[in-house]
Amino acid sequence: MKHNILHLDSVTSTNSWLAVEGRDIPHATVVTTREQTAGRGQRGNSWESQPGANLTFSMLLRPESIAAHSQFTISEAVALGIADALRHYLPADRVKIKWSNDIYVDNRKICGILIENSITGDRIGRSIAGIGINVNQEEFHSDAPNPVSMRNITGIEYNLDEVLNLVIDSILSRLDEGIADPASLHRAYIESLWGKEGRTYRDTATGEIFSAIIEDVAPIGHIHLRDTSGRLRIQAFKEIAVIL
């Protein structure tokens, strides 16, 4: 699929760079960097990445036919596209999406995603998807609890450009699916969810511990959990934490 890649040697954050410089940059432009000095994850979390060992990039999307109230479709497309690509290299049944859009292999995090949408009227005018994929890094030194890389799993050193191009093409394919048939995309996202058959959670406001299965995820991204007492819990991101 047609896309454009801009390579920067070092930048504080590819998302921040695109937010400033990307006003006139076309759809499917990717900004990648060897070193991201202030990479950001969800809700301000940092992202550890050894320079030159992994993929740290941001992708500018202009999904203008997607309504603002359905903006989670973009998260689903990006997460599924990355999972599709990683399943090309890793055991497919072990690659899952941890709500809302981390990518896990078994119980370990291989990819983090930060999506920032700009609304124009009632539509998505622009989306910037910041993506970090652990590819060839062998040791991690931050306080992140469960990082893993492709090389950790298989022992193989990967060509970063090859992986990047497959990831981009897979994301664009899933985005096209989300525009043409959002119900199909959503079903694939739910099917790919890590822990959908049941996990133990902690309510971050009250400290309550409970077990639940995933029933659905709303178009705005809220997760629907059915706990063991039969209660339906609808939670926003950061309102619950999985107990690993």
In the chain, where the domains are located: 4-191, 199-242
The per-residue pLDDT for 47 is: 57
| Three-class SS state of 81 | helix
Please report how many Cα atoms fall inside a 13 Å half-sphere around the Cα of residue 219, on the Cβ side: 9
Check: CB of residue 95 under 8 Å from CB of residue 103: yes
CATH of 4-191, one of 3.30.930.10, 3.40.50.740, 3.10.105.10, 3.40.50.1370: 3.30.930.10
Does domain 199-242 fall under CATH 2.30.30? My reply is yes
Please report how many Cα atoms fall inside a 13 Å half-sphere around the Cα of residue 16, on the Cβ side: 11
pLDDT tens figures, 153-207: 999 999 999 999 999 999 999 999 999 999 999 999 999 999 999 999 999 999 9
Q: What is the pTM of this model?
A: 0.93
pLDDT tens figures, 28-67: 999 998 777 766 554 445 556 788 899 999 999 999 899 9
The per-residue pLDDT for 51 is: 81
- Whole-angstrom Cα distance, residue 45 to residue 165? 26
pLDDT tens figures, 91-150: 999 999 999 989 999 999 999 999 999 999 999 999 999 999 999 999 998 777 899 999
